Structure 1
Amino acid sequence: MNIAELMKLFGNPETIKSLGMGDKMMGVGVTVILGMGITVTALIFIQFLIGFMTTILAEKPKAAAASTPVPTNTQAAPVQEEVAATNDEELVAVIAAAVAAHLGTSSNNVVIQNIRKVADATPTWGRAGIVDQMSTRF
């Protein structure tokens, strides 16, 4: 019995009962291989489709606007915040607003020259305690 005939017999539940154990096992194997093959093929297609869409829809990096310093005496020292390596203009604006609020001046009077990551000075036992506390909240 070839595979095409066996699959036709598998389409009818009553004919499955009349098949021998070897035919049933071959039918199950073919069904599993076809199902897994179709699934893997579809997942690979989706992976390439997502990669293609990412390259098309990804935002192009904008050139950083040159900031001109305001001629006032109130300038903030270089801000050291934990920041990702990306040049996120919104994050810079938020940091400038926070520094301006702390200094009690307008954000127009604050010039941020450098943002860099500061090493975490929390001891290991402190970080472990924070992780433990956060994991037991739920």
Structure 2
Amino acid sequence: MNITELMGMFSNPETIKSLNMGDKMMGVVVTVILGMGITITALIFIQFLIGMMTKLLAEKPKSEAAVETSQKTPLKPDVNDPELMAAISAAVAAKMGISPKSIVKTVVEKR
């Protein structure tokens, strides 16, 4: 009996009972090898796809002129931003368990 016939017999639960022990073991081995082979092939294919996506989506290195101009103009934070001051004072007040108004009064008095 060849492997194709054996796999055809494995597809029907009634015919499995009529097989001898050697044919059953051969069918199990073929089934395991096919399952593992398909799984390994799929994983290798997925690894190849991930590698290709990494190469395609990787950031291109910046030119030297763009790097130099970005280094010449440092970013300065806006110290007088009222929204930023409100967020920081609210966070500090929440941590200390006091009102944000008392924090603002203290900061204004020290100026």
TM-score with structure 1 setting the length: 0.49
Q: Unaligned stretches of 5+ in structure 1?
A: 70-92, 105-138
| C-alpha distance after superposition, 1:74-98 (max 9, x if no partner) | xxxxxxxxxxxxxxxxxxx6xx64x
Q: CA deviation at 1:59?
A: 1.4
Give the aligned CA root-mean-square deviation in angstroms: 2.2
Greater than 4 Å deviation, 4+ residue runs: none
Against the structure 1 CA distance between its residues 15 and 40, is the aligned structure 2 distance closer, same or farther, given a 3 Å change threshold? same
Distance 1:68 1:50 in 2: 37
Larger radius of gyration between Structure 1 and Structure 2: 2
The number of aligned residues is 76
Q: CA deviation at 1:62?
A: 2.5
Partner of 1:75: none
SS in 1 for 2:23: helix
Select the structure with the greater relative contact order (CA < 8 A; seq sep ≥ 6). 1
Partner of 1:67: 72
Identity, % of aligned positions: 72
Q: Unaligned stretches of 5+ in structure 2?
A: 81-111
